[in-house]
Structure 1
Amino acid sequence: MKQPALDAESRPRHALGDPIVLILSIGFILLFLALSIFDLDFLANAISQGFAWSALNFGTYFQFLMLVTFFIAIGLALTPAGKAKIGNLDAPELSTFKWISIILCTLLAGGGVFFAAGEPIYHFVNVPPAFDTDPGVPAAVPGALAQSFTHWGFVGWAILGSLTAVVMAHAHYVKGQPLQPRTLLYPVFGERLLRGPLGGLIDACCVIAVVAGTVGPVDFLATQVSFGLHDLFGLPNNFFTKLAVLVVLGAVYVLSSVSGVQKGMQFLSRVNVILALAIGGIIFLFGPTLFLFNSYFSGMGTYLGDFFKMVTLTAETAPAEWMQWWIVFFYAWFIAFAPLMAIFVARISRGRTIREMILAVAVMAPIATTVWFTLLGGSGIYYQLTGAVELTEALTNFQFDIATLSVAQALPGGNWMALAILLLTTIFVATTGDSMSYSIAMVGAGHDKPSAFMRAFWGIIMAVMAAVLLAMREGQIAALQQFIVITAVPVSLFLLPSLWNGPQAAYAMAREQGIID
């Protein structure tokens, strides 16, 4: 099948894409850095108030949007329209292993690798409001894992690349509309949105959300690796070590993004998945195997049995602060990434059926994530129970970098395992950096083959922002993380039409391909 020519108006008028998107995005970065330098307290207070207001007034809506998206997507995958192929290709561009590897590495690395060891232990020693067991006892294990699965499971993944990806695939590859977030709202506002300044504003909101969501993990990685190198090899844990880590990381993901999906990006993801499988296999075979098996079985059972109870917690049924920093924060993070992740998922899924894409993103990937959380977090709970590690105080203070290294050193292989997990974490974050650089460049170009210059530009911009934030106090990174929840408010409104436009686009593709009448 032949791809339709893009409308001339959707092609970039500037080397870096839409000037409105460029000016607003770069302007936000410069304004954030300037306020961080000159008045961090004002910036932190303003963002903190916006964070609290957004969580209070939109938290339940975020939960509703993600829950409904998941069930509509699964229902759509099971209909005859699920057989329609994406991207006007008869065969997939990527092999199944490469394709799944890119999906897993791109979407999980945004934060899951940082929380996989520490979060289940946190919920083990600080029992979530959905459960009434005593903390730190064996009976608290299923609830601790189930709460982690709630944050990183089915509804979180579904918002990233199911209905919105279907809308994007049909709009771009069939109708020739730009591969930009504004296209999600085309059915509502029509043609003027694709060419007017409102479209640029919508795209800029989504780019800013992704920059905020990506720079945070990049900085956290530099901090975590620096701490690990200090603990393992005695290297100084200071700004220069963190900067060196950041330079290496930035170089890797920029080169990967520039080389493209078929080369560096799929290679990096494939290496990452192979390394994760090797580490996971060692943990399962030589670690607390029976405990991990039983914990996953009971944790998944609790997750499925209490699914609605946990996903539909609100500030009326749980402490408001807990809701803000767990359910709402994570769900807002997923929502903030969703438009650009939809663009990326649609790009790498060309030649796949709608059913394959939805089931891979909304079912297979979450199950793989829950297994990963059980291997690392479940092992951490076991060592916490046996006294091999004591992380109650560190995790209560949200020191997840300490938790990850402590659990890694307690695993089979000790320091070697810790080094392997640090390497794995680095590659995971690099896969997020390259995919988001590529996605932002696609937004600027309006199609799926942005220039290497554009990809490198955005990768470098995020690395530079991360370096500047590292040079400041930790408050800037915390403020940036809270800002994600604020950006999720407008982005969530951009996603809302996909609840009905996703099925419409799928059935349109199925009719065009002769699958249904």
Structure 2
Amino acid sequence: MGDPLVLGVSIGFILGFVALSLYDVDMVAEGIAAGFAWTARTLGSYFQWLLLLTFLVAMGLVASPAASARVGNLERPELSTFKWLSIIMCTLLAGGGVFFAAGEPVYHFVVTPPAFDTEPGTPEAIAGALAQSFMHWGFLAWAVLGSLTAVVLAHAHYERGLPLQPRTLLTPVLGERVTQGWLGSLVDALCVIAVVAGTVGPIGFLATQVSFGLHELFGLPEGYTTQLVILVALGAVYVTSAMTGIHRGIQWLSRFNVILALAIAAVIFLFGPTAFLVNAFTQGFGEYLTSFFTMATMTSQTAPAWWMQWWTVFFFAWFIGYGPLMAIFVARISRGRTIRQMILAVAVMAPIATTVWFTLLGGSGIHYQLTGAIDLSEALQNFQFDVATLTVAQALPGGPVMALAILLLTTIFVATTGDSMSYAISVVGAGHDAPDALVRAFWGIAMALMAAILLHMGAGQIGALQQFIVITAIPVSLVLLPSLWTGPQAAIAMAREQGIIAQAPSARGTKTS
């Protein structure tokens, strides 16, 4: 069944959060809001440094000979390249990426981000708006999700037989005896809680977005009953997928999703404002590279505190919360790949694909906002991103059909997050990569149930849970931190074991450095 302490603490959290919310919704929301504000103010810069250094160290590692070592000592990869990249793209870009892709660039277009001083809503504001979105969803976000940490886990699990659990990330620092005890169980439980908080958010938001979409497109009643039906359907899809495992359900859903996303992208590119999108991407990406460090190191001393709290720090903390479980997932699906391929896929290729996707949806939104075809300023100032996605989708060529296709895509994206995270949480509980199907189903159902209860209390509670992610990022960030030096060490150890680089004169001497 797995570790009773991990199960006890994580399930206890879910029950406790729901029970407290039922007892006093406002108290929970206010408490979390205070913790969220404190964390963003006090630890925002630390989160930013963690992401920045992870990316820079990972890029350094890619350039080294040690990156030729293979994960899991397999000569040939377990999954084909297309399947492998599809799964990586879907798990991370998932709910958030699709949810924010249309709205976030338009938001930064109508409210100039603090790193830039362009006049909002003018052609000059386009490059900065896209660059800021790329900053949040680009290289730094992806690197923290599965580059160095995946290397540490790959070495520990495949070469040394340690379990695929977050605690294993701390073994090089604390030793096996400590991490196999209660402290290790607590670390695992905290990482599970962060992922549950991070996944229930998109599941709940999806229900509101789809019910809003169905209401707009087909006039169906928009309300809790519709949201509940959507949650049941969504839960059924991803629980079935998680139970059939990586080689069937998760892979099949991801592949279908990527094909649908490519089809939508092609339609937007060919029939939408093509020249505008090409220019916007070119300028936006250029601005992203030239203002990279300015945006990455912006603090609440130079930017408004609310802005940092709700944008950069919120997103970075969200990705940190996903870090350990995503690393488990990446290490699990990357057997037979080299360390270089694994890091480049996660920290370079996926972010570039993400920036293209954000340009297609968000860039089209900016174009329609600029030409006056739509006006999202009011909706976005109130953070109504579900309205933004649908409004942009309806303005695209083939309006209602595109809106429906994008709703379907969003649903499957969230389902792929649901199934991969149900699987990863079950792996943590079991300590090996073939967890019981019923345990996977339990976690999938628990997350859908939690979303249903929170939605019943009002969308605000889902918002409270989203803010809670920022608080859970504190302990999780401490689990990720050592990978800045243990990641390169693990890669060197793997390369030595595989005879890619020469053995050191004294193996003991290298470990204590």
Name the TM tier (shorter chain): over 0.9
Given the alignment, which residue of 149, 152, 171 partners 2:156?
171
Given the alignment, which residue of 407, 412, 416 partners 2:401?
416
Q: Aligned partners of 2:171 and 2:453: how far apart in 1?
A: 37
- Cα-to-partner distance string for 1:19-73 (whole Å, 9 max, x where unaligned): 1111111111111111111111111111111111111111000000100000110
The answer to whether the Cα contact below 8 Å between 1:110 and 1:213 also exists between their aligned partners in 2 is no
- Cα-to-partner distance string for 1:102-155 (whole Å, 9 max, x where unaligned): 000001004111000000000000000001111100000000000000000000
Matched, 1:490 2:478: no
Matched, 1:294 2:283: no
The residue type equivalent to 1:247 in the other structure is V
- Cα-to-partner distance string for 1:389-439 (whole Å, 9 max, x where unaligned): 000000000000001000000001110000000000000000000000000
Matched, 1:49 2:41: no
The residue type equivalent to 1:29 in the other structure is I
Matches within 5 A, 1:228-307: 228-307=213-292
Q: Aligned partners of 2:460 and 2:365: how far apart in 1?
A: 28
- Cα-to-partner distance string for 1:347-369 (whole Å, 9 max, x where unaligned): 00011000000000000000000
- SS class of match (1:94): coil
The answer to whether the Cα contact below 8 Å between 1:210 and 1:340 also exists between their aligned partners in 2 is yes
Q: Aligned partners of 1:187 and 1:159: how far apart in 2?
A: 19
Given the alignment, which residue of 102, 118, 134 partners 1:149?
134
Map of 1:159 onto structure 2: 144
Given the alignment, which residue of 414, 422, 429 partners 1:429?
414
The residue type equivalent to 1:270 in the other structure is R
Map of 1:377 onto structure 2: 362
The residue type equivalent to 1:258 in the other structure is M
Map of 2:87 onto structure 1: 102
Q: Aligned partners of 2:336 and 2:242: how far apart in 1?
A: 22
Map of 2:508 onto structure 1: none
The answer to whether the Cα contact below 8 Å between 2:95 and 2:206 also exists between their aligned partners in 1 is no
How big is the alpha-carbon RMSD for the aligned residues of Structure 1 and Structure 2?
Answer: 0.7
- Cα-to-partner distance string for 1:173-221 (whole Å, 9 max, x where unaligned): 1101111101111122112223211111100000000000000000000
Matched, 1:92 2:63: no
TM-score by length of 1: 0.96
Q: Aligned partners of 2:173 and 2:22: how far apart in 1?
A: 41
Map of 1:319 onto structure 2: 304
Map of 2:441 onto structure 1: 456
Q: Aligned partners of 1:495 and 1:372: how far apart in 2?
A: 28
Given the alignment, which residue of 106, 113, 119 partners 2:104?
119
Q: Aligned partners of 1:132 and 1:464: how far apart in 2?
A: 44
Given the alignment, which residue of 362, 372, 376 partners 2:347?
362
**Offset, 1:341:** 0.3
Matched, 1:72 2:57: yes
Matches within 5 A, 1:210-221: 210-221=195-206
Matched, 1:136 2:121: yes
Q: Aligned partners of 1:446 and 1:45: how far apart in 2?
A: 36
Map of 2:485 onto structure 1: 500
Report the more deviating stretch, 182-191 or 310-319.
182-191
- SS class of match (1:111): helix
Map of 2:67 onto structure 1: 82
- Cα-to-partner distance string for 1:265-315 (whole Å, 9 max, x where unaligned): 111000000000000000000000000000000000000000000000001
- SS class of match (1:91): coil
**Offset, 1:162:** 0.3
Given the alignment, which residue of 2, 12, 19 partners 1:34?
19
Question: Which stretches in structure 2 are left out of the alignment for 5+ residues?
Answer: 503-513
Map of 2:374 onto structure 1: 389
**Offset, 1:451:** 1.4
Q: Aligned partners of 1:450 and 1:89: how far apart in 2?
A: 22
- SS class of match (1:384): helix
The residue type equivalent to 2:167 in the other structure is R
Q: Aligned partners of 2:40 and 2:455: how far apart in 1?
A: 27
The residue type equivalent to 1:65 in the other structure is L
Q: Aligned partners of 2:233 and 2:158: how far apart in 1?
A: 36
- Cα-to-partner distance string for 1:316-374 (whole Å, 9 max, x where unaligned): 11111100000000000000000000000000001100000000000000000000000
Map of 2:313 onto structure 1: 328
Q: How many residues align structurally?
A: 502
Map of 2:507 onto structure 1: none
- SS class of match (2:77): coil
Map of 2:511 onto structure 1: none
Report the more deviating stretch, 39-48 or 149-158.
39-48
Given the alignment, which residue of 307, 330, 343 partners 1:345?
330
Q: Aligned partners of 2:180 and 2:313: how far apart in 1?
A: 34
Report the more deviating stretch, 363-372 or 236-245.
236-245
The answer to whether the Cα contact below 8 Å between 2:110 and 2:377 also exists between their aligned partners in 1 is yes
- Cα-to-partner distance string for 1:212-245 (whole Å, 9 max, x where unaligned): 0000000000100000000100110011111111
The answer to whether the Cα contact below 8 Å between 1:182 and 1:193 also exists between their aligned partners in 2 is no
The residue type equivalent to 2:177 in the other structure is R
Q: Aligned partners of 1:58 and 1:176: how far apart in 2?
A: 35
The residue type equivalent to 2:135 in the other structure is T
Q: Aligned partners of 1:179 and 1:128: how far apart in 2?
A: 40
Map of 1:10 onto structure 2: none
- SS class of match (1:389): coil
The answer to whether the Cα contact below 8 Å between 2:25 and 2:457 also exists between their aligned partners in 1 is no
**Offset, 1:78:** 1.4
The answer to whether the Cα contact below 8 Å between 2:55 and 2:140 also exists between their aligned partners in 1 is yes
- SS class of match (2:322): helix
- Percent identity between the aligned chains? 73
Q: Aligned partners of 1:195 and 1:83: how far apart in 2?
A: 31
Map of 2:510 onto structure 1: none
The answer to whether the Cα contact below 8 Å between 1:109 and 1:432 also exists between their aligned partners in 2 is yes
The answer to whether the Cα contact below 8 Å between 2:140 and 2:347 also exists between their aligned partners in 1 is yes
Map of 2:389 onto structure 1: 404
